[in-house]
Chain A
């Protein structure tokens, strides 16, 4: 399940920011490792919400430092 979410998130991050799919790993930081700026993060969140039918409020987004954080949040709230 988590692997499926990770794979799906990698596709989204690639689509939004051009980061190679293989670079989107659980331990990677969106900001420090993948160079995702705040506007791109909004896009990633919107696409994830649409794909998995979850709601990710802004108050949660700031806690999603790594790709793994996002995968865990989506898995838990799906």
Chain B
């Protein structure tokens, strides 16, 4: 994994779902994250389509990703296809 890709994952691990306190990757809310040159492309979802936090989570992910050294642009896309289900969550380590 390159430094930028590791930084991207770390950034996404730093954004937490305020309801559970778990990060978005552990929640299964990140559908795709890739680096193309100096741009990051992330596809994410929310636990329910009408979630009032949707736009704020998207902007939060954008801010976290743009803070990664080496990333100069970020495209954060929302998708509910497929819809999020609790099965997407990473199991708790304990």
Q: Do A and B come from one complex?
A: no
